[in-house]
């Protein structure tokens, strides 16, 4: 989604803004722009396409001016500015539609992430007052509205304009008549304020701030921040002052860098062993003591308030979008398997528009890497309104999901920059397994020996993931032989079906290959009609009890000319005859295989993307965090 940056301080704003926008590129964008308050007034530069186009345009303008004017008139030389990467929603990607948008006087500039739902009505209203619109965007109305209410006090004008806006927005606003302030606003779209020494910043996400500060304020919904170079003041929507707590970001700046890898996605795939360890280790209490004082190992879920009261729950509802929904599906199977409790995995974008049935004892587990996905947040609010106990699993500290849920379990995956989610998925799985195991113990479906057995298996997963990653060259070689397949299917049952869905999503989103996942037993009910010589079928076969069933399915597609790949354990030879290629993973209890079997599929998608000449970190038409519907 769109990225916002803003700077006020003593440095030249332009390089800070351009660097900040670079750090937000991962969010997805099709155009970019900056507005800086310089000696010559408000200067705006916007460009369709990649950020380097904007950089070139800014340099060309600066060079032109230095030939004709003096240093005092250096364009884009001011110390206050805002910048934006746009992901088109209203109006095609173009220079004109790019942000910042200015009002008719050319003195107020606005950058916006979100959607103004009543923009048509506001446009008509403003047009009736003589405003001539230049762009097709919903954002432009904001600049004109602020100008309409402006009578010398920017904050007052912004507050008045906000009262007229419906929809979601994160905003950065500057005004030529107020050279000492940036105003930032948030409603349902993320915005972080960076607190520096003699300089302050705004950004859609923390990586854009890390070079300047690690001290941040997370703006809450309907809050306004007024930044000057030495201080930041906060107001609620009633215009009352609000005190906010400063949070400290612990990641080192390198966590959001590529660290020698060609792409963030490859780096993040390779970080999975560490991410899994970091997610698991703090939640395992080792066995201790001896004799009467001896205690068994256990899972510590105090962070989500796991206690005996959970025994009253009659149902677990897991809700999410995209990859996180696939983690929810694995969660559903895990809750049924370990805790024998009815569980549903709901697609948040569907759930929010249904008329779902709620029980007061339901436990809602809402999963989101970013914690900012609009549909997921809507599902969370629906569950809260209906009295459910809402637990968030998220990767982003201070995200909206983390703040609005009753309790939070963090996936300690570190920043995930690539659009295609990888380490977030496997760590989300680790979290749902831990809850399911503990629930199993509480409900008496699992005894201590069983828990010990499964914890031991979970503890081996990071090393086993490491072992799977060692086979990356085999997968790269395989991808080089079939990256241009036009039809790729993934098939599996239960846990393997969830991984099939995730693998097909990964392949389609970054390699643009038409890939689909089918529950293997459903092949005969339709999809097998598609199988022919041009088809590659990857069968996830990691559940011993279903080996024969899967083998029949593989033979069925092979008989119709499809090439077949099987992902199974390294000691299994059940598929030697039916599979053209076998990728192997180490042994673990069948229910835990998704954390390992997905890795070859992530690598396969990555290499296909690269071989097809795509940028896997920035797939076309996609944004990292879908903060609008």
Q: Collapsing DSSP states into helix, strand and coil, what is residue 346?
A: strand
370 near ligand M6R, judged by CB under 6 A: yes
97 near ligand M6R, judged by CB under 6 A: no
List, in order, residues 6 or more apart from 580 with CB less than 8 Å away: 558, 563, 564, 565
- Answer for which of 77, 322, 415, 462 binds ligand M6R (CB under 6 A) is 322
| Minimum separation from the CB atom of position 571 to ligand M6R (A) | 31
The yes-or-no answer on residue 107 being catalytic is no
625 near ligand M6R, judged by CB under 6 A: yes
The neighbouring-strand residues paired with 575 are: none
In terms of Cα–Cα distance, which of 494, 473, 512 is closest to 613? 512
Looking at beta carbons, which residue is closest to ligand M6R? 322
Stretch that binds ligand M6R, among 200-208, 217-225, 415-423, 542-550 (CB under 6 A): 415-423
Closer by beta carbon to ligand M6R, 213 or else 369: 369
In terms of Cα–Cα distance, which of 601, 423, 572 is closest to 500? 601
| Minimum separation from the CB atom of position 435 to ligand M6R (A) | 17
Q: What is the 3-state secondary structure (H, E, C) of 221-241?
A: CCEEEEECCCCEEEECCCCCE
419 near ligand M6R, judged by CB under 6 A: yes
List, in order, residues 6 or more apart from 416 with CB less than 8 Å away: 268, 369, 395, 422, 423, 424
Give CA torsion, residues 118, 119, 120, 123, to 10 deg.
130
Closer by beta carbon to ligand M6R, 296 or else 614: 614
Q: Are 209 and 194 a contacting pair, CB within 8 Å?
A: yes
| Minimum separation from the CB atom of position 421 to ligand M6R (A) | 4
The yes-or-no answer on residue 541 being catalytic is no
Stretch that binds ligand M6R, among 21-29, 116-124, 159-167, 318-326 (CB under 6 A): 318-326
Stretch that binds ligand M6R, among 20-28, 41-49, 141-149, 363-371 (CB under 6 A): 363-371
Stretch that binds ligand M6R, among 87-95, 248-256, 368-376, 488-496 (CB under 6 A): 368-376
Strand order in the sheet with 80-86: 41-48, 31-38, 80-86, 3-8, 200-203, 192-195, 215-218, 247-248
Stretch that binds ligand M6R, among 97-105, 180-188, 320-328, 462-470 (CB under 6 A): 320-328
Site string for ligand M6R, 492-511 (x = CB under 6 A): -------------x---x--
| Minimum separation from the CB atom of position 49 to ligand M6R (A) | 22
321 near ligand M6R, judged by CB under 6 A: yes
324 near ligand M6R, judged by CB under 6 A: yes
| Minimum separation from the CB atom of position 367 to ligand M6R (A) | 7
Instruction: Tell me the C-alpha to C-alpha distance, in Å, between residue 231 and each of 198, 203, 577.
Output: 8, 16, 70
Closer by beta carbon to ligand M6R, 420 or else 437: 420
Query: How many Å apart are CA 359 and CA 538, to the nearest integer?
Result: 40
- Answer for which of 102, 369, 588, 609 binds ligand M6R (CB under 6 A) is 369
Locus of tokens 């009352």: 240
318 near ligand M6R, judged by CB under 6 A: no
Query: How many Å apart are CA 406 and CA 341, to the nearest integer?
Result: 21
113 near ligand M6R, judged by CB under 6 A: no
The neighbouring-strand residues paired with 409 are: 393
399 near ligand M6R, judged by CB under 6 A: no
376 near ligand M6R, judged by CB under 6 A: yes
Catalytic residue of the set 2, 321, 541, 601: 2
430 near ligand M6R, judged by CB under 6 A: no
373 near ligand M6R, judged by CB under 6 A: yes
List, in order, residues 6 or more apart from 64 with CB less than 8 Å away: none
- Answer for which of 421, 426, 427, 564 binds ligand M6R (CB under 6 A) is 421
Query: How many Å apart are CA 73 and CA 94, to the nearest integer?
Result: 28
Residue count at the site for ligand M6R (CB under 6 A)?
Answer: 17
CA atoms 135, 137, 138, 140: torsion sign: negative
Locus of tokens 């990641």: 251
- Answer for which of 137, 368, 553, 602 binds ligand M6R (CB under 6 A) is 368
| Minimum separation from the CB atom of position 618 to ligand M6R (A) | 11
In terms of Cα–Cα distance, which of 218, 210, 215 is closest to 244? 218
Local structure of residue 338 (DSSP, 8 states): I
Stretch that binds ligand M6R, among 279-287, 362-370, 440-448, 609-617 (CB under 6 A): 362-370
The long-range contacts involving 50-55, CB below 8 angstroms and separated by at least 24 positions, are: 51/18, 51/21, 51/22, 51/25, 51/85, 54/18, 54/21, 55/18
Name the residues annotated as catalytic. 2, 624
Site residues (CB under 6 A) for ligand M6R?
321-324, 368-370, 373, 376, 419-421, 505, 509, 622, 625-626
């Amino acid at each position: 989604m769109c990225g916002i940056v803003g700077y006020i301080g003593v440095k030249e704003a332009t390089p800070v803004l351009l660097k900040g926008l670079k750090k937000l590129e991962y969010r997805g964008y099709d155009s970019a722009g900056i507005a800086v308050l310089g000696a010559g007034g408000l200067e705006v530069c916007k460009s369709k396409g990649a950020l380097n186009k904007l950089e070139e345009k800014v340099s060309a303008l600066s060079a032109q001016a230095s030939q004709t004017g003096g240093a005092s008139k250096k364009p884009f030389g001011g110390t206050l500015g805002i910048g934006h990467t746009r992901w088109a929603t209203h109006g095609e990607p173009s220079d004109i539609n790019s942000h910042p948008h200015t009002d008719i006087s050319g003195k107020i500039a606005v950058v916006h992430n979100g959607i103004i739902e009543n923009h048509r009505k506001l446009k008509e209203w403003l047009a009736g007052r003589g405003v001539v619109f230049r762009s097709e965007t919903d954002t432009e109305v904001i600049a004109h509205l602020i100008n309409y209410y402006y009578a010398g006090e920017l904050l007052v004008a912004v507050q008045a304009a906000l009262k007229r806006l419906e929809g979601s927005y994160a905003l950065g606003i500057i005004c030529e008549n107020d050279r000492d302030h940036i105003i930032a606003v948030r409603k349902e779209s993320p915005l972080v304020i960076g607190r520096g020494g003699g300089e302050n910043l705004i950004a859609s996400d923390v990586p854009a701030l890390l070079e300047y500060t690690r001290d941040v304020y997370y703006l809450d919904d309907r809050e306004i921040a007024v930044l000057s170079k030495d201080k930041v003041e906060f107001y609620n929507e009633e215009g009352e002052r609000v005190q906010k707590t400063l949070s400290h970001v612990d990641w080192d700046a390198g966590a959001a860098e590529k660290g020698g890898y060609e792409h963030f996605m490859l780096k993040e795939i390779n970080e999975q062993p560490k991410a899994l360890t970091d997610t698991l280790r703090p939640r395992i209490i080792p066995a201790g003591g001896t004799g009467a004082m001896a205690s068994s190992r256990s899972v510590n879920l105090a962070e989500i308030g796991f206690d005996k009261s959970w025994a009253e729950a009659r149902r677990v509802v897991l809700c999410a979008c995209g990859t996180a929904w696939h983690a929810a599906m694995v969660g559903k199977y895990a809750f049924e398997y370990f805790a024998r409790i009815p569980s549903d995995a709901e697609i948040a974008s569907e759930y929010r528009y249904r008329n779902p049935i709620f029980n007061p004892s339901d436990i809602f587990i809402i999963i989101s890497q970013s914690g900012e996905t609009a549909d997921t947040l809507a599902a969370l609010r629906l569950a809260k309104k209906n009295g459910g106990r809402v637990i968030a699993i998220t990767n982003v500290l201070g995200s909206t999901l983390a703040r609005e849920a009753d309790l939070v379990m963090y996936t300690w995956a570190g920043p995930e920059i690539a659009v295609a989610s990888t380490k977030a998925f496997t760590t989300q799985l680790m979290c749902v397994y831990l809850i399911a195991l503990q629930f199993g113990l509480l409900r008496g479906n699992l005894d201590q020996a069983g828990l010990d057995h499964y914890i031991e298996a979970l503890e081996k997963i990071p090393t086993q993931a490491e072992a799977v990653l060692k086979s990356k060259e085999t997968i790269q070689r395989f991808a080089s032989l079939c990256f241009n397949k036009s039809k790729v299917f993934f098939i599996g049952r239960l846990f393997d079906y969830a991984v099939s869905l995730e693998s097909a999503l990964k392949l389609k989103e970054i390699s643009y290959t038409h890939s689909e996942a089918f529950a293997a037993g459903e092949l005969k009910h339709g999809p097998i009609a598609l199988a022919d010589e041009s088809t590659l079928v990857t069968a996830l076969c990691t559940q011993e009890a279903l080996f024969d069933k899967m083998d029949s399915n593989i033979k069925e597609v092979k008989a119709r000319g499809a090439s077949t790949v099987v992902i199974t354990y390294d000691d299994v030879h059940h598929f030697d005859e039916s599979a053209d290629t076998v990728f192997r993973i180490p042994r673990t209890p069948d229910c835990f295989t998704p954390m390992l079997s997905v890795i070859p599929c992530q690598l396969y998608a990555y290499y296909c993307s690269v071989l097809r000449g795509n940028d896997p970190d920035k797939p076309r038409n996609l944004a990292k965090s879908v903060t609008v519907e």
